[in-house]
Amino acid sequence: MTHLTVAMRYLEGRAVASVLTAVSIALGVALVIATSLLSRGIKQSFVEGTTDYGLVVGAKGSPTQLVLNVVFRLASPTPNILFGTYETLRDDARVDVAVPVAMGDAFHGFRYVATTRDYFAAFPWRRKTFTVATGRLFRDDALDDPGYEAVVGADAARVAGLKVGDRFYEGEEMAEYPLTVVGILRATRSPDDAAIFFSVPSYWAMNEIARKMPQKPLTAVLVRAKKMSDLPALHRELNVSADTQAVFPSAILLTIFNLLGLADQVLRIVLAIVAVVVLLYVFLSMWSATLARRREIATMRALGASRVTILMLVLLESCAISFIGGAVGVVVGHAVAYVGAHLLAGRGFVTDPFAIGALQPAVFAGVVLLGVAAALVPAVLAYRTDVAEHLAPLS
């Protein structure tokens, strides 16, 4: 028998109350762990997604929407720009690489992204690398010769069950223009895993509206300048035009982070609520336990237990229950984050539900400390229990 076994035995003795308290602690901890893991992952995805290209050129409108749509495929589609904009940028001396992007329909929810092979090229400045897992990249078609070759992102291929050689289309009206899978990409842990790529001419041929347009459309052009110092001038010139706007993705990143700052605030509020709930639950549970136990406390004192021993027993008991609740909460939190990560992956976010860092020990230690703090007042109540008065009913 040790003091810890005594505390544990008391926890067992009021199993229902103990389980309820532990569960409430576990839920709180799980909430905190899951939210922070997921929000951290979302932030990370944004950082990685936005930084390869210096400029995104698209139709006039909300800059944030343009970046969210083109880079993360999140927001609703933005209006078109003309293919000519791409050609001008491609031929501009200051531009190192310009990549056209046209986005339209989807197959089984996986967005169609029409572009060129440059989209996948391994430029030395790129943080992101594309590798073909099976097959090859699509052919860069001549403008009037669509090849209908598709390269499929890893998640899209897995979920939609596409293999090299498969022909597919969505909707009867598209049956005339089936795409053929020529390659499957290796996972990039980015929104591109949930996309289906093919050439811009294929897109124009498949899209009914585009077919009829004399001037062919694009959604955006991704631009990499040769020199960073040329970026502001390019940015200015493109924004002067009535139809196009140029956006620094890094500036949008700031906007998004401000939004995520809001999420941080929400997280902070969640944390505060959880802390209060844990405090209240442990306090109430230990308070009522101590009141119900005054005679046993008096008995232990009469057996020679010191006041400090009684105090420690109460603290130890609440420490044990917070420890159990906290440990379960950390595990459940990761499970929730795991499920959340799967849901987010469908939206192109990559989060690591098992990222281990300062978070887990901090939350765990925090909840144990909180549990002990909540038991301080009940512990003092136990400490002050008068022995003779509670030892026996008066004769």
Partner 1 sequence: MPSGDTPAITVRGVTKSFPLGDGRTLPVLDVEHLTFAAGSCTVVKGRSGSGKTTLLNLIAGVSLPTTGAITVHDVNITALPEAERDRFRAQHVGYVFQTYNLLSAFSALENVMLAMMFAGAVPARDRRRRATDLLQRLGLGPRLSHKPHRLSRGEAQRVAIARALANDARVILADEPCASLDARTARDVLAEFLAVARDPGRTLIVVSHDDVMLESADHVLDMAMINRVPSSLPVVESVR
Question: Which residue in this structure is represented by tokens 């795409």?
Answer: 179
Cβ proximity to ligand ADP: between 240 and 394 the closer is 394
CA distances from residue 78 to 66, 69, 103, 238, 244 in whole angstroms, order as listed? 6, 7, 9, 17, 11
Interface of this chain with Mg ion, residues 43 to 72, rule: CB under 5 A: none
Would you call 278 helix, strand, or coil by DSSP? Answer: helix
- 305, 328, 331, 376: residue in contact with partner 1 (rule CB under 8 A): 305
Q: Applying CB under 8 A, which part among 131-139, 252-260, 302-310, 328-336 lies near partner 1?
A: 302-310
Contacts of 174 (CB under 8 A, 6+ apart): 105, 206
Interface of this chain with ligand ADP, residues 365 to 394, rule: CB under 6 A: 389, 394
Residue 13 site contact among ligand ADP, Mg ion, partner 1, none (CB < 5 to 8 Å, cut-off depends on kind): partner 1
Residue 10 site contact among partner 1, Mg ion, ligand ADP, none (CB < 5 to 8 Å, cut-off depends on kind): partner 1
Is residue 168 classed exposed, middle or buried when 0-12, 13-18 and 19+ CB atoms within 10 A define those classes?
Answer: middle
* Sign of the dihedral through C-alpha 187, 188, 193, 199: negative
User: CA nearest 79: which of 213, 255, 192, 237?
Assistant: 213
* Sign of the dihedral through C-alpha 353, 355, 361, 366: negative
Interface of this chain with Mg ion, residues 331 to 360, rule: CB under 5 A: none
**What per-residue string of b and e applies to 71-99 under the rule 16 or more CB within 10 Å gives b?**
bbbeeeebebbbbebbebbbebeebebbb
Does 395 contact Mg ion by CB under 5 A?
yes
**C-alpha radius of gyration, the chain, whole number:** 31
Does 394 contact Mg ion by CB under 5 A?
no
The beta-strand segments (E) located in 25-94 are 55-59, 81-82
Given a contact cutoff of 8 angstroms between Cβ atoms, the answer to whether 132 and 192 are in contact is no
Cβ proximity to partner 1: between 171 and 304 the closer is 304
Does 347 contact partner 1 by CB under 8 A?
no
235 vs 214: CA distance, rounded Å: 27
Phi and psi at residue 198, to the nearest 5°: -155, 180
Given a contact cutoff of 8 angstroms between Cβ atoms, the answer to whether 310 and 6 are in contact is no
Cβ proximity to ligand ADP: between 258 and 395 the closer is 395
Instruction: Locate 99 and state its tokens.
Output: 């990549």
Does 393 contact partner 1 by CB under 8 A?
yes
Minimum CB–partner distance for residue 385 and ligand ADP (Å): 13
90 vs 369: CA distance, rounded Å: 61
Residue 167 site contact among Mg ion, partner 1, ligand ADP, none (CB < 5 to 8 Å, cut-off depends on kind): none
Cβ proximity to ligand ADP: between 87 and 389 the closer is 389
Cβ proximity to partner 1: between 31 and 300 the closer is 300
For the chain, percent helix, then strand, then coil, each to nearest 5? 60, 15, 25
To the nearest 10°, report the CA torsion of 314, 315, 318, 323.
-140
Residue 300 site contact among ligand ADP, partner 1, Mg ion, none (CB < 5 to 8 Å, cut-off depends on kind): partner 1
Cβ proximity to ligand ADP: between 214 and 393 the closer is 393
Q: Applying CB under 5 A, which part among 32-40, 52-60, 153-161, 387-395 lies near Mg ion?
A: 387-395
Residue 171 site contact among ligand ADP, Mg ion, partner 1, none (CB < 5 to 8 Å, cut-off depends on kind): none
Minimum CB–partner distance for residue 302 and ligand ADP (Å): 14
Cβ proximity to Mg ion: between 304 and 393 the closer is 393
Interface of this chain with ligand ADP, residues 183 to 202, rule: CB under 6 A: none
Cβ proximity to ligand ADP: between 358 and 394 the closer is 394
- 19, 106, 355, 391: residue in contact with partner 1 (rule CB under 8 A): 391
Minimum CB–partner distance for residue 386 and partner 1 (Å): 8
- 1, 93, 228, 240: residue in contact with partner 1 (rule CB under 8 A): 1
Residues lying near partner 1 in the complex (CB under 8 A) = 1-3, 6, 9-10, 12-13, 295-296, 299-309, 387-388, 391-393, 395
Residues lying near ligand ADP in the complex (CB under 6 A) = 389, 394-395
Residues lying near Mg ion in the complex (CB under 5 A) = 395
